[in-house]
Structure 1
Amino acid sequence: MLRLFICLGCAMWFALPAWGYTPKDTALLKPTFSQKWLTLETEHFLIHYRNSHLSYAQRMAAVAEKVYARQTPRFDWQPADKVQVVISDSFDGSNGGATVLPYNQFFIFMSAPTKGELLDNSPWMEQVFTHEFVHILHLDQSSGTQTTLRTIFGRFFFVFPQIFSPAWVTEGMAVYEETDEQKRFGRGQSALYDAMMRAEYGNGFRSFTELSYQGSWGTDWPGSQSYLYGYYFFEFLTAQYGEEKAFEYLRNWNANIIPWRMQSRAKKVFGLSAESLWSEYVQYLDKKFAQEMAGLPQPDYTELVSTGRINSNPRWISEGDFYYYREDGRHHPALQRIDPTGAESEVAEIEKFIQVDVHPQAGVLLSRYAVCDNVNVYADLYRLNKKGRWDRITRCGRYPRIAWSHSAERIAAVHVNEGIAQIALLDPQGTLQQQFKPLAEGEVIGEINWSPDDSRLVAAVYRARGGWNLELLDLNTGHWSPLTNNTHLEQRPRFSADGKSVYFLSDQGNVWNLRRLILATGRIETVTRTQTAILDYSVEEASGRTRVAEYTANGVMLREQKIKPWGDTYAGLWQQRAPVESIENQPAFDARQFTDISDYSPLPTVLPTSWFAMLYADSEDNSLLQFYLAGQDVLGFHAWEFAPAYYLEKNELGGSASYVAYHRLALFAEREYDTIRASGNGVLGAWREETRFQALWMQPFNSFDGTFQVDLGAGHETVNRIIEDFGQFDSYSDNLGGISFNWSDYEYYVHSISPEDGRRIRLEYEEYNVFGGGFHKGGIVSLDWREYISLFDNHVLALRAVFGKGDSDAKPFQLGNEQDELQSLGGRIGFGYTGYTLRGYGDNEPRLAGNNLSLYSAEYRLPLRELFDGFSTFPVGLGKIGLTAFIDHGAAWEEGTSKSFYTGVGVELSPELLVGYSTFRIESTLGFAQGLDSELGESVVYLRLGAEF
């Protein structure tokens, strides 16, 4: 269960784009012990924050209690204990995450969104807090037998019935609750959500099973479809049956002993099967969005690109070259260029893209995510050099939004830190020249653009009372002045070439279109047409054209339109408008009253919250009763597991224990008993007692270009053979210490079935008998190099070479078996690793063992299909399906003897099994291997399984 909790925690914290190379360090984005952490306690929450974030934490405390008072009656549920909340400034992006295991907890990144689905006139803190707290209220619920079991066993995974909801139920309810149409809060009322669903209408709505199995694992566009369809599902239930029925649809699962009963859920509340209820839902969507489409004009455009998914950040420069960012899910994301003749070429690959700006003389300027201080992820600036490579010009600068000046002598950037935004001016080499007065806490600066004379900036700015509007910053005085003041969302402003107008995007009329503000009159005209949403643009005024990034059912596509005003003009600067109806704008809002502050202590959350027992018995006279306890503190500094076991026939105590500190130090201990010979018929029983201690220190050096990690490990094991009534008759002891150097930089794209475009390298040295008294002695050095070559359409050639050499008394290498075996001495820490795959051969053959090793492997991995669908009543489906053809060629030999190579060939079919809709993904491999040596070779059929949560 500890491993489950850690897995959930990592998924919760990791908010970076999922595609491309990312370090595997579990400390990435997490709190660090070197920082001073405090806890602010309220009536219903414990808010953990760094000492410099006091005012933010107090504001959150005031918002939290208001959200609690609003949401708990709606769910008719109150958490039994105070909810743990972590405020994080480790990421220059906007996200949050919640889990109810091992206790109710969620985190929030301080940086507010400036684009995409999360863009809203509600304050980021209120929006994200509502969404994540709704997850807690939903997933924490139970009743009947499940509540009784929770009282006995505590917060054990299977006594949380709502965890087994498909992702669209969980996320849909959270989006439904964050949405307030009257206040224009939340994704459910947004013009973008309407646009996304209009695109789905044109493409055909998804079935119940398609959406349920896409869940967290699917590769289909859009990636957020669980949120999208989930919200409209609860909107449909409310419109068709009333809101109380929508909440009853949630609550009727609270007593479920058997998970995933979606048929029962629908029948109990609505008297319909899950598919019939979904059919009604699709009819509702058809009617709603057919009416919307009928009211929208048909745009006239020219398609610029044929590849779907994400084509964004269009930049059309004066010489006629056109640049854009492309991420198609099959290749490395890249900056593309289309020249005036229409010829397209790749300019450079891009890691962790945020924004690009292009200047005719100064070239390409990039803002992208970079790892800072080894665990934080901040926005830094890069320039493209003449060799087509990126030169980093800032270090931990935190500049997510950028713009070249027209003179190319300065860079304007939005600087973010601890939830505070301000404008910074830098020289072309990235040196900071000037910073302007920061905005107030909770206020945000979106994209920026220079005036033609480089004296002013225009920006999209979020103000606490006015929401998103356009403002001008005078660079001589530092004074902000409003260009607009209305209830629309207004983004991505850019001056016209003559400086008399400002182009921008807004959701006026509930459709995201390109607008033009005439500065002399203050009037705004709409200059594009769309049936979905225009998300970005670049204007060529000389020809009267614009190239836009437009949302479609296949992704964000680039299209060219003529700039042509249509519809009525309107005033952008309203004389009167009500303030945003947020919690913080209410007269009674008072954050300063929350002063119950103490130093952070891990003890309250590191204690166990559950226990469970397992009775095991087999036909080999092995039976045991084992208890499991685990815990981890909310900041992730300490995690532990204790699993004592009582061996019934042997009348002995064993079990295991582990402790992980600060994601770096891992300690393990275990004792187990295994029957050698069962007693009976006058024969005395015999068994083996195995005791192991292992320690590992992990020190990664993280980067999105690749991670270098040094591991230090030590292990000790003792194996005693015991005869019933006589005691110990034989003993074996071994120990080692080791160091390994690891490099990884492989990519993984949306449609990948395997790592691509990179490598994993491990160089290791181990010394046996470092503590004395060991059976094996001497050193072993080994090199394991895995290379992944991307071919086409996510086909991969995977190559592996392993070389090893050990002293004569060290533990020998062993070839054979269908998967690499971590030997028991250092298995849990990755050392003592002497068993290597040679498929088509047994795993204990003496002729495949020795103190020297050479192993070569080649695999051709090809994707067959992406299904992400399955059964509705019996919740099992298939995700990606891949096929691998392989050849292994290896030899192990003693020093001074001849070496003989053995070869095995075979195929592996690897379907992803999706169990419980979107709950579990089991990576399965069904293989056939044939050893080609006539004497040692075997024909083997094998199955490997592994699960993800």
Structure 2
Amino acid sequence: MIFLFININLLSAQTLNDNHSHLTSYFYEVHNHPELQWYTFETEHFFIHYHEGAQRTANVIAKIAEDVHGPITALYGFEPQEKTNFIVRDHDDYSNGAAYYYDNKVEIWASSMSFELRGTHSWLRNVITHEYTHMIQLQAARKFSRQVPAMYLQWIDYEKEKRPDVLYGYPNTIVSYPVAFTVIPSWFAEGVAQYQLPGLRYDHWDSHRDMLLRTAIVEDKLLTLGQMSSFGKNSIGNERAYNQGFAFSTYLAENYGIETLEKATKAMTKKTRFSFLSALKVATGKDGYTLYKEWKLYLNEHYKRSLATVQSNKVEGIQLEPNGIGNFYPQWSPDGNKVAYVSTGGGDYLSLTSLVLRDAFSKEKTVLAGGANQAFDWSRDGKKIIYSSRKEKNKYGSRLFDLYLYDIEKKKSTRLTHNLRGHSPAFSNDASKAVFVINGDGTQNLALIDLQTKKVEKLTNFNNGEQVYSPRWSPNGSEILFAFTPGEGRSVRIYNLAEKTISVVADAGPDNRDAVWAPDGKSVYFASDRSGIFNIYKKELGSGATTQLTNVVGGAFTPDVNSKGQLVYSLFVAEGFKIAFLENPVAVQPEQTTYTKFPVTPPAKVLTNGLASLNLRDIATPNFNDRNLVPAATQPYKNRYSAFSMIPRVVRDYGTTKVGSYFFSSDLLDNYNVLGGFGVNSKFDLDLFGLVNYNKLGPTLFLEAYNQRRHTEDGKDKFTYNLTEVYFGMRRGLFPGHNLEFALNYGQYNAKINSVTQKNEPFSFGYTYHISRGLQTRYEYFGIAPAIDESANPRGGRAVTFTHHAMHTSFIDSFKVNSTFGTAQEVFTDYRYNEFQLDWKEYLRLWKKHSLYLRFKGGYIDRKVDSFYHLYGGGLDGNRGYPFYSIEGLKQVMGTVAYRFPLIWKIDKSLAQVYFDKFYVGVFADYGNAFIADAIKLDDFKRSVGTQFRLEMFSFYGYPTKLFFDAAYGLDAFQNRGIDYGKEWRYYFGITFDYFD
């Protein structure tokens, strides 16, 4: 049973992996980076930690953090008690920021974010201010100390059937429910982090944000207040929660005063307040639903008025690809008959794309290469496509962009580079070279690569965070067209290869991007938001004349034109980006494009709370200067640890109440992790565990220890059981999704009897009844298709676990008298055996959101052992129509088939702190047996059928909460150890962070 104790405690602790906690590294395989040399320097309010190669970014971050510290802390009236740590990473081509405010650290990735649903702003100014706002605002909302982020309410109940030599049956009820002590809905947390501070304009209401909100209003896709409050959606839905949060937070600040943000935040510090709706009433005098309705009415009126002209004069063409949430970079084949593009297909996330080829005038399409990302290009003969991908990890586990070549005739991709950090390639006319974008330390440059020799030549030498995008070779081979930004907005430019000069085609002011050449090289097509909405434009390079070719309600991006003048582009509508087609583009007249963007710049009159006295002029956009900074004096990084955090827990377990706590800490770089926990009841039954990970080598080294103590009574006899397991091993990721683990383990189970003799004299007797030593090898593969419902209803992929235990165990047989001391001494029977287990789960997509789940679970012990070590096959993790201990043997063969589907896809209801999201139902059949004989007797196999309910929820806005209920009926009646089983219903219930299958 100690193995069950291990699993339950780890599953419970993992629930804390929400948006702002940092327990992920304890449970998921994360690649270590021992190759990196880390350094540290200190400023007045911050420690900055960075690795070699990210020095420029680290110095800029230090300057920005000091610039915004005063304004942000003044806005929320909260000053941190200690310096905040910024960790700068650039070992992957990945862009993000994360505020771990319980750990007092912020992680920043140096690469600038280029996201299809966001405009272009100064990356570091934006992300530093955004994440530091999280650090301050969320801490200002705490109910308790930063070291006590939450607590757990837990309940474990058991089957009544058990072995005579174990205390309890196997669990049939497992509840582990967190109670959060910082409670802020996603829309407000992300909304204020984007709002930042009036006047800074590091993040502002750009045309992308307006596009997302505008299409939601026009197409009736606006998220409800409940939907805004948590994530768990596809990329469009999650970004809409960010976006609507930005707009709604701004509305509150504009109409009720900027002090509303601080008042609502601090109202959540009340110990008994878990609804942000009431906090809004404290801050504004109106409850959250009333405010939301006001805001929605305002939006409807604004967009109805602003879009009247555009909607009467729409020019969109037809949709060649109406499916999927993301279709980008359409490009005609040289013969003008096919279109290639990057697409999410039926997936839920914009980051997971493939290269797709389709006939332009039919529905026939083919997926050419998975993992393709960013812009690509055809060779002039139409036989090859060059593209970029970061799907493969390098030897250090990093994902870096490299170039690939797809051969149309051979239907095969070839990797061209390794660790290049290059993307968005375009062929030269003879396909001997390619121009591409190269990334490093937060700056992007243009570069050339000789495709034969692989020699790389940089064309530009930007070194202050500048970004370049989507280069395109001119038809005459002398120039390269590309988009450029020093930080804010984009412009279209041309690089002259002979003269090594750069000229401007369409300057920033409006955002101009996604430029391509006309086939004759005399004009360029590009996307621009000069009307307030992104549309496609054409500019004649000779005369400079510019004409608008589309007039859309959403947005038009990434155009391409063939020799017939036919235009394809990416069209944004409320549900995502589609591929659109215009047969004969003609000029749209300026008077047909009139549009007024949603006004969200707060007036100066709302600057209260002492903020009006702040002088933001020198640090605001565009006045700040982050260029050519003098590097700070640094020193090698020394391990710095976060303070131990504790999560109290109250557990109802086998009819008793236990109290205890989890505790955890880590080094700032996750070089070390410590996690532990305990629980104790009035009988002094004790659960205790501790884990330590060492992550400074290629593999992770770990040490784990678990201990249980239980007390029982039988008349005058009192029994104490003490069970201990210790593991020491290493684990490492091999390939994406593949992990391997080796561990040595030692276990010892002791018992003690306290009683009285017939003369009423007390005596006690202790003994050991089980000792184990073993070597465990464990291989895991996790390849489930990422999706919104991948937890409740996976619809593609598989998960495989194979485990081998080489065991040497000693189990008590009897006692003998020790000849030296005259005391009782244990007599053990030794067992040396190998145990093999395979658990294979296959997930199949049926139609729409319906799925089929197949599972095979097999086990084999290679020699006779005591039944204490048998494989058991009933219960929650096996054949559910029978108790766990009812099916046992040296060999095990089990199978499951389940059919699932969502009964209610959008519940969108709340009750107290719980938001109800989705409800699934399913039916299943379990079939199998465990046995000792060599021959498999199908007549002895046990069958059960049942139904399953799954409820997807969020608690306290940010904690995923999963409820399951399984009811199974055992179709076969049989006996084991004289007990009858089968022909009855059995029930299983749980509330956890995830499902067990």
Give me the whole-angstrom Cα distance separating, in 2, the residues matched to 1:24 and 1:454: 52
Report whether the alignment pairs 1:230 with 2:245: yes
With over 3 angstroms needed to count, the CA separation of the structure-2 counterparts of 1:32 and 1:740, relative to structure 1, is same
Question: Contact 1:806–1:812 (CA<8 Å) still a contact in 2?
Answer: no
- Which has the larger displacement, 744-753 or 482-491? 744-753
Partner of residue 908 from structure 2, selected from 850, 865, 869: 869
Aligned to 2:882: 841
With over 3 angstroms needed to count, the CA separation of the structure-2 counterparts of 1:529 and 1:8, relative to structure 1, is farther
Report whether the alignment pairs 1:920 with 2:959: yes
Report whether the alignment pairs 1:804 with 2:859: yes
Aligned to 1:345: 365
Aligned to 1:174: 193
Deviation per CA, 1:326-381, whole angstroms, max 9, x where unpaired? 32445995444332542422233523633333334232222122222342121122
Give me the whole-angstrom Cα distance separating, in 2, the residues matched to 1:169 and 1:745: 34
Shift of 1:923: 2.3
SS in structure 2 of the partner of residue 498 of structure 1: coil
The letter of the residue matching 1:27 is V
Shift of 1:179: 7.0
Shift of 1:643: 3.6
Aligned to 1:272: 286
Shift of 1:125: 0.7
Aligned to 1:717: 747
Deviation per CA, 1:38-77, whole angstroms, max 9, x where unpaired? 1121111111101332232112111110011222212222
The letter of the residue matching 1:684 is D
Report whether the alignment pairs 1:204 with 2:224: no
Give me the whole-angstrom Cα distance separating, in 2, the residues matched to 1:59 and 1:584: 15
Partner of residue 770 from structure 2, selected from 732, 737, 741: 732
With over 3 angstroms needed to count, the CA separation of the structure-2 counterparts of 1:886 and 1:428, relative to structure 1, is farther
With over 3 angstroms needed to count, the CA separation of the structure-2 counterparts of 1:270 and 1:613, relative to structure 1, is closer
Aligned to 2:669: 635
Deviation per CA, 1:430-480, whole angstroms, max 9, x where unpaired? 82343324312211111111111112111111126x853222212234333
With over 3 angstroms needed to count, the CA separation of the structure-2 counterparts of 1:590 and 1:521, relative to structure 1, is closer
The letter of the residue matching 2:908 is D
Partner of residue 512 from structure 2, selected from 490, 510, 517: 490
Give me the whole-angstrom Cα distance separating, in 1, the residues matched to 2:689 and 2:641: 22
The letter of the residue matching 1:82 is K
The letter of the residue matching 1:266 is L
Give me the whole-angstrom Cα distance separating, in 2, the residues matched to 1:754 and 1:161: 27
Question: Contact 2:480–2:496 (CA<8 Å) still a contact in 1?
Answer: yes
Report whether the alignment pairs 1:882 with 2:881: no
Give me the whole-angstrom Cα distance separating, in 1, the residues matched to 2:19 and 2:186: 14
Shift of 1:197: 1.3
Question: Contact 1:908–1:928 (CA<8 Å) still a contact in 2?
Answer: yes
Give me the whole-angstrom Cα distance separating, in 1, the residues matched to 2:370 and 2:420: 18
With over 3 angstroms needed to count, the CA separation of the structure-2 counterparts of 1:590 and 1:379, relative to structure 1, is closer
Give me the whole-angstrom Cα distance separating, in 1, the residues matched to 2:561 and 2:220: 33
Question: Contact 1:445–1:462 (CA<8 Å) still a contact in 2?
Answer: yes
Aligned to 1:321: 338
Give me the whole-angstrom Cα distance separating, in 2, the residues matched to 1:168 and 1:867: 18
RMSD: 3.4
The letter of the residue matching 1:563 is P
Aligned to 1:460: 483
Give me the whole-angstrom Cα distance separating, in 2, the residues matched to 1:698 and 1:644: 25
Aligned to 2:797: 758
After TM superposition, the structure 1 = structure 2 runs for residues 531-546 of structure 1, keeping only pairs within 5 Å, are: 531-540=553-562, 542=564, 544-546=565-567
Give me the whole-angstrom Cα distance separating, in 1, the residues matched to 2:65 and 2:221: 37
After TM superposition, the structure 1 = structure 2 runs for residues 929-948 of structure 1, keeping only pairs within 5 Å, are: 929-935=968-974, 936-937=981-982, 938-947=984-993
The letter of the residue matching 1:421 is Q
Question: Contact 2:402–2:420 (CA<8 Å) still a contact in 1?
Answer: yes
Deviation per CA, 1:812-851, whole angstroms, max 9, x where unpaired? 543433333xxxxxxxxxxxxxxxx112111112xx3221
Aligned to 1:780: 835
The letter of the residue matching 2:108 is I
With over 3 angstroms needed to count, the CA separation of the structure-2 counterparts of 1:259 and 1:352, relative to structure 1, is farther
Deviation per CA, 1:896-925, whole angstroms, max 9, x where unpaired? 566454233323434333233632222222
Question: Contact 2:857–2:893 (CA<8 Å) still a contact in 1?
Answer: yes
SS in structure 1 of the partner of residue 390 of structure 2: strand
SS in structure 2 of the partner of residue 27 of structure 1: coil
Deviation per CA, 1:565-601, whole angstroms, max 9, x where unpaired? 23459xxxxxxxxxx9866975886875673533222
Shift of 1:232: 1.0
Aligned to 2:145: 150
Partner of residue 819 from structure 1, selected from 872, 876, 879: 876
Partner of residue 706 from structure 2, selected from 660, 670, 685: 670
Give me the whole-angstrom Cα distance separating, in 2, the residues matched to 1:617 and 1:560: 62
- Which has the larger displacement, 2-11 or 766-775? 2-11
Question: Contact 1:42–1:594 (CA<8 Å) still a contact in 2?
Answer: no
Aligned to 1:573: none
Partner of residue 368 from structure 1, selected from 365, 389, 398: 389
Give TM-score scaled by structure 2 length: 0.82
Aligned to 1:50: 51
Question: Contact 1:113–1:124 (CA<8 Å) still a contact in 2?
Answer: yes
Aligned to 2:84: 83
Aligned to 1:251: 266
With over 3 angstroms needed to count, the CA separation of the structure-2 counterparts of 1:771 and 1:179, relative to structure 1, is farther
Shift of 1:546: 1.5
Give TM-score scaled by structure 1 length: 0.86
SS in structure 1 of the partner of residue 490 of structure 2: strand
Give me the whole-angstrom Cα distance separating, in 2, the residues matched to 1:587 and 1:200: 35
Give me the whole-angstrom Cα distance separating, in 1, the residues matched to 2:652 and 2:15: 29
Structure 1: tracts of 5 or more residues without a match? 17-22, 570-579, 821-836
Question: Contact 2:536–2:550 (CA<8 Å) still a contact in 1?
Answer: yes
Give me the whole-angstrom Cα distance separating, in 2, the residues matched to 1:431 and 1:590: 32
Question: Contact 2:801–2:839 (CA<8 Å) still a contact in 1?
Answer: yes
The letter of the residue matching 1:367 is S
Aligned to 1:132: 131
Aligned to 1:190: 206
Shift of 1:640: 0.5
With over 3 angstroms needed to count, the CA separation of the structure-2 counterparts of 1:587 and 1:904, relative to structure 1, is closer
Give me the whole-angstrom Cα distance separating, in 2, the residues matched to 1:741 and 1:642: 25
Shift of 1:803: 3.2
Give me the whole-angstrom Cα distance separating, in 2, the residues matched to 1:7 and 1:50: 31
Aligned residues: 887
SS in structure 1 of the partner of residue 881 of structure 2: coil
SS in structure 2 of the partner of residue 224 of structure 1: helix
Aligned to 1:827: none
Aligned to 1:519: 541
Give me the whole-angstrom Cα distance separating, in 2, the residues matched to 1:241 and 1:201: 23
Report whether the alignment pairs 1:356 with 2:355: no
Shift of 1:169: 0.9
Give me the whole-angstrom Cα distance separating, in 2, the residues matched to 1:194 and 1:599: 45
- Which has the larger displacement, 755-764 or 278-287? 755-764
Identity of aligned residues (%): 19
Give me the whole-angstrom Cα distance separating, in 2, the residues matched to 1:599 and 1:922: 42
Aligned to 1:826: none
Shift of 1:492: 1.1
Question: Contact 2:805–2:835 (CA<8 Å) still a contact in 1?
Answer: yes
Give me the whole-angstrom Cα distance separating, in 2, the residues matched to 1:5 and 1:84: 25
Aligned to 1:239: 254
- Which has the larger displacement, 711-720 or 852-861? 852-861
Question: Contact 2:472–2:482 (CA<8 Å) still a contact in 1?
Answer: yes
Question: Contact 2:151–2:649 (CA<8 Å) still a contact in 1?
Answer: no
Question: Contact 2:859–2:892 (CA<8 Å) still a contact in 1?
Answer: yes
The letter of the residue matching 1:709 is N
With over 3 angstroms needed to count, the CA separation of the structure-2 counterparts of 1:313 and 1:224, relative to structure 1, is same
With over 3 angstroms needed to count, the CA separation of the structure-2 counterparts of 1:189 and 1:701, relative to structure 1, is same
Question: Contact 1:815–1:891 (CA<8 Å) still a contact in 2?
Answer: no
Aligned to 2:723: 690
